[in-house]
Amino acid sequence: MNRQMTDDELDREIRSFLGLQEERVRPAYSATEIAARITERTRRAGLGSVLALPNYQRPLAIALLLALLLALLLAGAVFFGGRQSLPLHLTTVENGWIVFSSQPGGRQTQENDFRAGGDIYIGREGVAPTVIVSRGSASISNVCPTFSPDGSKIAYGEAAGLQRAVVFLDIAGDGTVAPSARLTAPGSGAAPCPRWSADGERIAYMQGSARVVMTLDGSSSEPQPGDPEEAEFVLPGEDAGIVTSPSGQVTAELTGGGAVFAAVDGSFQRVVRFDDLSWIAANGYPPEGSYGLAGWSPDSSKVLLMYDVSGRHFTMRTLAIEEPFDSDVVAEFIPVNGTRSWPALGDVSWQRLEVDQ
Amino acid sequence: MALVEGAANVATEPDVALVAFVTEHYDRLFRAAGLICRHPDDAADAVQNGLELAWRRRSTLREPDRTRAWLDRIVTREAVRMSKRRRSWLSRLFTPSPDVKWIEPADPTVSEPATSLALRAGFARLSAEQRAVVVLHLHLGYSVAETAAIVGAPDETVRSRLRLARQRLRHELEEPMR
């Protein structure tokens, strides 16, 4: 719009918009059903009341019931089973491959040197990273690689000239990848920074200030529960702030020359001073040299630290949250695409593997 | 899934007076809560909780002609609370992980009127408290003082939230999409 709207004009636009939005809101239950739910909750306090709980309370109630059931099963197994193994099928979370871009994505222009482009690497603890998506002749931005929730695919954003796309790769167990699809992203500008829905059926990215949600066949979709919210696209840059573990139980925060790990329930707080750690001194890192916290491992046992090691290269290491705070190299001396353009939280994704016991 | 359909399957005859009470107010409250929460499940929960609370406390309402504002206050506060609540890892735990199948090339047609798209983006970026005062004051027609009483904040706070919300929405409207 070319001229500034008056307040009255703005209010009219807002009222009109809200009126239209209101028309689109359709209740899932009838008034009679809601009355029945209220009656049920008022009259009953037994297990059946789970059915009448609001949606947000159901998972907790179901979890409590399952925990009770599990406890009964365990007690029964111990009592009747003797040395027999427990008839339970357990799944544990393990840490898989790590993908990262050498270019930060989804942030403000001044923090990102688009001219230099960016590569995407894959590696893991004990396996040196290799480039899987190249910037070409320094002209292609490849940003925000992110594993699907089931770990079977990687999505990332690409910008080459005026063309933008979200690209999908299939990943095999040995870390090899193969392109499987490319969704054209309308518009021009910075590469889209895709994020997966919780169920892995849709991806979302920001187009200007609007969130675009697409199903994996490339058609647009109305936002649904579990889709990434706008707030999740506001990447913090190098100063990640407080980052919560995938389990939701521990937070991590970088401080000057150290890190703090704290239980969400307040049961512990561990303060790590980097100048106390032998691997810091052994590798010649200055204690204050870590510039970013790039996320958590899927099993919530360690975090990823980013180190500026030359002014133009970064090194990424794990840091265990339990004493003695062990560390492994994930990537060493990776060139960044500009001296003010450092990847951090949001530019690294760690594959979650579910392993049957 | 049985749990989702639980409401319809509950074999309980609701009180006739309760049905009348819910029927009279449900639709209007759901629409307002939907605008504040921006999610139908959260809105449904907010309205159910609000109506249940109101039904239990109906004897405390001394002026029956104030029922509407009283309900708006209860449900608005519940909607703000629901809206601020993030989906927990526990609820995600119960979301089944589907098989990712073959992906076809994109259909890049994403269309919506620019004004509506801009306002939708701007409205989504407002805080729950800001959305609540915009809905109450600009959409439902409550005065600033009435809005303040409903959300439980001073008049100045409501004016401030309205001003910030207008700034954000004006910015979205006047800033061309990149």
A62/chain B closest Cα distance in angstroms: 9
| Interchain CB contacts (distance < 8 Å): A and B | 250
Concatenated DSSP letters of B13-78: ---HHHHHHHHHHHHHHHHHHHHHHSSHHHHHHHHHHHHHHHHHTGGG---GGGHHHHHHHHHHHH
pLDDT of residue A285: 73
How far is A210 from B113, CA to CA, in rounded Å?
Answer: 12
**Contact call for B27 and A27, based on CB within 8 A:** yes
What gap in Å lies between CA A126 and CA A177, rounded to an integer?
Answer: 19
Mean pLDDT, residues B146-161: 90
Q: What is the pLDDT of residue A97?
A: 92
User: b/e map of A136-145 (b: 16 or more CB within 10 Å)?
Assistant: eeeebbbbbb
CB-CB neighbours of B77 under 10 Å: 17
pLDDT digits (tens, 9 = 90+) for A319-345: 998 888 888 888 888 888 776 677 888
Q: Which residue has the tokens 């907790």?
A: A60
What pLDDT is stored for residue B8 in this prediction?
35
CA–CA separation, B156 vs A278, rounded Å?
56
Search chain B and give the residue with CA nearest A221: B110
pLDDT tens digits along A148-202 = 988 899 999 988 877 888 899 988 888 888 888 888 887 767 888 899 998 888 8
Whether residues B116 and A20 touch (CB distance < 8 A) is answered with yes
Whole-number pLDDT of residue A48:
47
Q: Which two tokens stand for residue B75?
A: 């449900």
- CA dist A37 and A101 (Å) reads 50
Question: Is a pLDDT exceeding 70 seen at residue A46?
Answer: no
Q: Do B121 and A189 touch (CB under 8 A)?
A: no
A156: enclosing H helix or E strand = strand A153-160
pLDDT, tens digit (0-9, with 9 covering 90-100), for A63-75: 888 888 888 887 7
Report the alpha-carbon angle A17-A107-A187, nearest 5. Answer: 55
Measured in degrees and rounded to the nearest 5, phi and psi for residue B138 equal -85, -30
pLDDT tens digit string along A204-253? 888 877 788 888 877 777 777 788 877 777 666 656 678 888 888 899 98
Cβ distance A38 to B92 less than 8 Å, yes or no, reads: no
pTM above 0.90, yes or no: no
Compute CA B83 distance to the chain's CA centroid, rounded to the nearest angstrom: 7
Alpha carbon distance A279, A274 (integer Å): 9
User: Do residues B122 and B150 touch, judged by C-beta distance below 8 A?
Assistant: no
Region B36-53: what's the mean pLDDT? Answer: 84
* Domains contained in chain B, CATH given: 14-87 (1.10.1740), 114-178 (1.10.10.10)
> What number is the average pLDDT over the span B140-151?
92
- Residue B14 pLDDT grade (very low, low, confident, very high; cuts 50, 70, 90): low
More confident position, B147 or A111: B147
Tell me the CATH architecture of domain A92-356: 7 Propeller (2.130)
pLDDT of residue A76: 66
Q: Kindly tell me if the per-residue pLDDT of B100 is higher than 70.
A: no
C-beta atoms surrounding A113 within 10 Å: 18
Contact A25 B34 (CB under 8 A): yes
Supply the pLDDT for residue A155.
94
Q: What mean pLDDT do residues B74-97 have?
A: 64
The pLDDT score that the predictor gives to residue A78 is 60
The answer, yes or no, to whether residue A77 has pLDDT greater than 70, is no
CB contact under 8 A, B52 and A41: yes
Three-class DSSP category at A252: strand
C-beta separation of A258 from A270 below 8 A: no
Q: What is the pLDDT of residue A99?
A: 94
Q: Name the residue ranges covered by the structural domains of chain A.
A: 92-356
Query: pLDDT (tens digit, 9 = 90+) per residue, A78-122?
Result: 665 544 444 344 667 888 999 999 888 876 444 455 567 788 999
Residue B96 has a pLDDT of 38
Chain A residues closer than 8 Å to B135 by CB: 18
Residue B174's pLDDT band, with cuts at 50, 70 and 90, is confident
pLDDT at A90: 61
- Closest-CA residue in chain A for B91? A59
Q: Which two tokens stand for residue B133?
A: 């005062």
Task: Using pLDDT thresholds of 50, 70 and 90, give the confidence band for residue B146.
Answer: very high
Residue A231, classed as helix, strand or coil, is: helix
Residue A283 clears pLDDT 90, i.e. is over it: no
- Give the closest-approach CA distance of B154 to chain A in angstroms: 22
Q: Cα–Cα distance between A142 and A242 in angstroms, integer?
A: 26
Task: Give the pLDDT confidence score for residue A333 in this predicted structure.
Answer: 85
**Mean predicted confidence (pLDDT) in B126-131:** 88
In this structure, what token pair is assigned to residue B159?
Answer: 């004016």
* ipTM value: 0.76
Q: C-alpha distances in angstroms, B172 versus A13, A19, A192, B153?
A: 12, 18, 19, 27
Please say if the pLDDT value at position A298 is more than 50.
yes
